[in-house]
Amino acid sequence: MATYVLVPGAGGSAWFWHLLVPELQARGHEVIAVELPAADESAGLAEYADTVVEAIGDRAGVVLVAQSMGGLTAPLVCARVPVALLVLLNAMVPLPGETGGAWWANTGQAAAMAEQAAREGRTPPAEFDPEDCFFHDVAPEVTAEAFARGEQSQSGKPFEDPWPLEKWPDTPTVFLQGRDDRLFPLPFQRRVVRERLDIPVDDMPGGHLVALSRPKELADRLEAYRIRYVS
């Protein structure tokens, strides 16, 4: 049995993983979906990392999965506790000293997002629309449940903190990207990850929220990684 520890993106909600958790549990594993202190205006990357480290405790053989903004936090955890494998999922990859706020312009995310929409023949909404960007491939009933929960608060503090590590940790790291992601398009992620980590980007069907749109397929991919790198 392995332990999967799941780190959410912006909003910090463990609910994001609620469809993936039973898929991994059915395969015989312990699963911890972390709730981050996203609404706490005083909580930055250090506090986020503290929360994940506390959730891991003294467990060994941990597979740490980090979604989107979780890519800022998960490497800090790997620098503090033993992690068998880090899986970055549609994730941000920071550079030493870079803030999460600066990451967007530094990587050219906005232009990449517009180029992807043009390639797909889409006209993005005039104002940012979470449903269009994040939920376009999520089942209507799951989307409805997400919106019924209300907007998830996310303080700006973690985006203001310079990323504190001098280099990426030595933890084995793989990158999995949804090929239908509208926020972080696949070609964009291939470039950023190559430049910053020099590792390949694997892809699977699905948008930015693959844990909600394709939980079984995602569980299968995570298990393949675990078997390859941990078992």
3-state secondary structure (DSSP) of residue 7: strand
**What span, in angstroms and rounded, lies between the C-alpha atoms of 48 and 73?**
6
Determine the pLDDT at residue 221: 98
Radius of gyration of the chain measured on its C-alpha atoms: 17
Asked if residue 231 has pLDDT above 80, the reply is no
User: Are the C-beta atoms of 66 and 87 separated by less than 8 Å?
Assistant: yes
Which tokens in the block code for residue 215?
């939980």
Write out pLDDT tens, residues 38-90. 999 999 999 999 999 999 999 999 999 999 999 999 999 999 999 999 999 99
Claim: this prediction has a pTM higher than 0.95: yes
Q: Locate 39 and state its tokens.
A: 């609404």
* pLDDT at residue 125 greater than cutoff 90: no
Tokens of 196: 């910053």
Query: What is the per-residue pLDDT for 66?
Result: 98
Q: Are 116 and 177 in contact (CB under 8 A)?
A: no
Alpha-carbon span 165 to 142, nearest angstrom? 37
Is residue 16 within 8 A of residue 67, CB to CB? The reply is: yes
Structure tokens at 75: 């490497």
Burial class (CB in 10 A: 0-12, 13-18, 19+), 166: exposed
Is the distance from CB of 208 to CB of 138 less than 8 angstroms?
Answer: no
**Per-residue confidence at 150, pLDDT binned at 50, 70, 90?**
confident
- If one counts the domains in the chain, the total is 1
CATH of the domain at 39: 3.40.50.1820
**Domain span including residue 162:** 3-229
